[in-house]
Amino acid sequence: MEGEPISALFTPAMVVDVDKVKKNAKKMIERCEKLGVQCADIMTGGSRRCIVVSTLAEACFYADHGFDDILYAYCLPFDKVERCAALSERLDLFQVLLDHPDALEQLKKRPLRDGRLWHIWMKLDCVNGRAGVLHSEPEALRLAQAIAETAGVELTGVYAHCGNTYNCRGVEQIQVVAQETTSFTLQFMEKLKAVGITCKSSIGSTPSCSHPVKDMALLSEVHPGNYVFYDVQQSVIGSCSLEEVAVRVLTRVIGHCPQRNQLLIDCGWSGISLDGGGKLPTGYAVIEGHPNLKLLSMTQEHGRVEPVSGQLDYSKYPLGSMLTLIPYHSCATAVMHPVYYVHSEGRLLGKWTPTRGW
Amino acid sequence: MEGEPISALFTPAMVVDVDKVKKNAKKMIERCEKLGVQCADIMTGGSRRCIVVSTLAEACFYADHGFDDILYAYCLPFDKVERCAALSERLDLFQVLLDHPDALEQLKKRPLRDGRLWHIWMKLDCVNGRAGVLHSEPEALRLAQAIAETAGVELTGVYAHCGNTYNCRGVEQIQVVAQETTSFTLQFMEKLKAVGITCKSSIGSTPSCSHPVKDMALLSEVHPGNYVFYDVQQSVIGSCSLEEVAVRVLTRVIGHCPQRNQLLIDCGWSGISLDGGGKLPTGYAVIEGHPNLKLLSMTQEHGRVEPVSGQLDYSKYPLGSMLTLIPYHSCATAVMHPVYYVHSEGRLLGKWTPTRGW
């Protein structure tokens, strides 16, 4: 397979442009170095240290492949305490996250062997509105103090996710949210300092880390995720240009429907996902090089493509011809593919097999 | 794992009630026997014959596990002709589907070894509006004749999918579409007969096969798919009752958000899918036993749950407690899970590992 053109792939197939991935990773590492914070992600420049994951299956997968210093940045699920304990006892540094005193109780009930400490990040909600103790609530400081005072555990850091940057359009709006999240986090760090507690701090999201504000240099770490691949959504938000997007789904024309002025392609929602709800001017994806085509709707294995305006010229899209989809949300697309085909300038280099499940 | 209660599973986990699956399959087989048509699906009552798949990966998977008489009911993708040829030369009966003369040309270019014939179903569009030649167009008859007259291939049957039953609400509407699809198909079979062509006929969709009309007895086969699991969508359409749905996603509470009157659960769109768009009164799923809860929105690994009305009583949903989601669309949910946990009356029997990709 190596060296073959990507056009030889069976479709639908997710292809990853490794040069863009490297470029996106390098740019992010440089941005982070400029800020003076660590780039807490898999793109570790070869160190295989200091990574953030959102499922325990990923943590185990990376631990099994020589990675260490892993933060499982997900509110401690009580069914997985024992598996977290095993990783904590096996790795140099496995870190968990929580936002509730009940979770601290769970960890107290399972002390680690050999005098090891549970390394805990406290999740702070800086008005993102997902997980975390709201930064302004007195519970936040109380929980941090409780962690700091508990035997057998350590308050490693304070962690905030500015997922609300996904509602932004353009750098200016992104930086308003990035500044707000940074400020709330730093204010909270001051409150901690006032009661004698010091620990790390981290904020993240691909938009904010793609356009960091100066104050983010005062944090210990940042944790972007999607930036390695980017996608149409990030280009709409303003995190990247469409040229920087490293992933595509290759698909082929499998049907002509002149009575509906449509094409059928061999990529349905099982190949690209329903993320975005089809609300782009070009529907569920951008069809590269064909700005007048729209991925209108999908079933599990079929996509319906029609012109944004005018009549389809079917001679341009014979059965079997290939179209290239730029995903709306590369995370959602990646979940659908058991294999990613990695290429450089259109020549296959190999496959990446992602881990799945929880 | 066998014999353990499903409550011991790590979440999110997809669980399959094998008793309901058997019951759903048995009912469908009985319905089909009553009609006198074959039940073309994996629930073959042990025969491992006469199955319909929608990806070539599935065809290979089943062929590797002792199944035969497989219909790959997907408009012949030109990149996969060689793999289809290999299956045709290896199995007793491998069948392909097409709806365009160009696809027939592809098959003519790759004659099968040992005098074997390509077994071809022609896809007829009975106003479902996805793949197929429109039943009323003269091209339909022309294509069928071309197949029948081509050396090295055989017109095995005419295949129509009444996916438009998914827009129905209630048995009466379902049967109107089932009747229409059946009538159009039978009319087309008459046209074929008039030019001296006889072959099989098949229509399908879970709603129409759950409530078949009398005339469907005149077809050779039917091909429902989703009915083994069913789901909320099918109960809304009227194919089944909610009690007949055989799959659930187990999830646990991982966060309390009193300031937003919400719970967080450990099932995001990577565990249940975005199918349905959250348009049920209870959002993206039905939360079993909690009619006042709504799965409002999701990120990749988080679900936000809030009451349909009133204030949440958090004491009823402690962190770590389990909730059970009935999926909106079980096909879309199943795609997200690398493993299905099979149980009978809540006791685990084992795992099913689905095939993935194309």
pLDDT digits (tens, 9 = 90+) for B134-150: 999 999 999 999 999 99
Phi/psi zone of residue A199: left (φ > 0), alpha (ψ -120 to 50 degrees), beta?
beta
User: CB–CB of B274 and A271 under 8 A?
Assistant: no
Report pLDDT for B83. Answer: 97
Nearest chain B CA: its distance from A323 CA (Å) = 13
Is CATH 3.90.1170.50 what the domain over A42-224 is classified as, yes or no?
A: no
Q: Is B329 on the interface with A (CB under 8 A)?
A: no
Report pLDDT for A43. Answer: 63
pLDDT at A140 over 80: yes
Q: Is B195 on the interface with A (CB under 8 A)?
A: no
Averaged pLDDT score across all residues of chain B: 95
Report pLDDT for A271. Answer: 97
Beta bridge partners of B281: none
**Max CA pair span of chain A:** 73
pLDDT at B40 over 70: no
- Residue ranges of the domains in chain B? 42-224, 242-352
List, for residues A146-169, the tens digit of each pLDDT value: 999 999 999 999 999 999 999 999
CATH number of A242-352: 2.40.37.20
11-70 in A: which are within 8 Å (CB) of B? Answer: 11-13, 54-55
A40 pLDDT band, cuts 50/70/90, is: very low
A vs B: CB pairs below 8 A: 137
Percent of chain A residues past pLDDT 90, beyond the cut: 90
Q: Is B218 on the interface with A (CB under 8 A)?
A: no
Report pLDDT for A33. Answer: 83
User: Is B121:B156 a contact under the CB 8 Å cutoff?
Assistant: yes
Average of pLDDT values for A230-253? 97
Nearest chain B CA: its distance from A131 CA (Å) = 7
B1 pLDDT band, cuts 50/70/90, is: confident
Averaged pLDDT score across all residues of chain A: 95
Average of pLDDT values for B55-74? 94
Residue A345 buriedness (CB in 10 A; 0-12 / 13-18 / 19+): exposed
User: CB–CB of A252 and B77 under 8 A?
Assistant: yes
Please tell me which of the candidates A78, A273, A277 has its beta carbon nearest to residue B320: A78
B337 pLDDT band, cuts 50/70/90, is: very high
Average of pLDDT values for B242-270? 97
Please tell me which of the candidates B12, B75, B270 has its beta carbon nearest to residue A255: B75
How far apart CA A110 and CA A96 sit, in angstroms, is 14
Report pLDDT for A36. Answer: 75
pLDDT at A44 over 80: no
User: Is B313:B319 a contact under the CB 8 Å cutoff?
Assistant: no
Handedness of CA B136, B138, B143, B148 (dihedral sign): positive
Buried b (16+ CB within 10 A) or exposed e, A30-40: ebbeebebbbb
> Cis (ω within 30 of 0) for the bond into B12?
yes
pLDDT at A250 over 90: yes
Measuring CA to CA, which residue among A256, A250, A124, A249 is closest to residue A180?
A: A124
Beta bridge partners of B39: B222
Residue of B81, B319, B339, B353 to mutate when probing chain A, most A C-beta within 10 A: B319
pLDDT at B341 over 50: yes
Beta bridge partners of A122: A98, A158
User: What are A241's two structure tokens?
Assistant: 């240009």
- Which regions of chain A does DSSP assign to beta strands (E)? 13-17, 38-39, 49-53, 68-75, 94-98, 118-125, 133-134, 153-161, 200-204, 221-222, 247-257, 262-265, 285-287, 293-298, 303-307, 322-327, 340-344, 347-352
The label of the residue with tokens 């799945």 reads: A356
User: CB–CB of A77 and B339 under 8 A?
Assistant: no
Higher pLDDT, A85 or B224: A85
Q: What is the ipTM of this complex?
A: 0.94
**Which residue of A lies nearest to B269 if distances are taken between CA atoms?**
A332
The label of the residue with tokens 């009356």 reads: B345
User: Is B240:B31 a contact under the CB 8 Å cutoff?
Assistant: no
How far apart CA A146 and CA A118 sit, in angstroms, is 14
Q: What is the full DSSP assignment across B228-286?
A: GT--HHHHHHTSS-GGG--EEEEEEEEEEEGGGTEEEES--HHHH-STTTT-BTTBTEE
B331 pLDDT band, cuts 50/70/90, is: very high
Report pLDDT for B283. Answer: 98
User: CB–CB of B320 and A102 under 8 A?
Assistant: yes
Nearest chain B CA: its distance from A34 CA (Å) = 30
How far apart CA A132 and CA A203 sit, in angstroms, is 12
pLDDT at B44 over 80: no
* Coil vs helix vs strand at B157: strand
φ, ψ for residue B309, nearest 5 deg: -150, 155
How far apart CA A134 and CA A188 sit, in angstroms, is 11
pLDDT at A338 over 80: yes
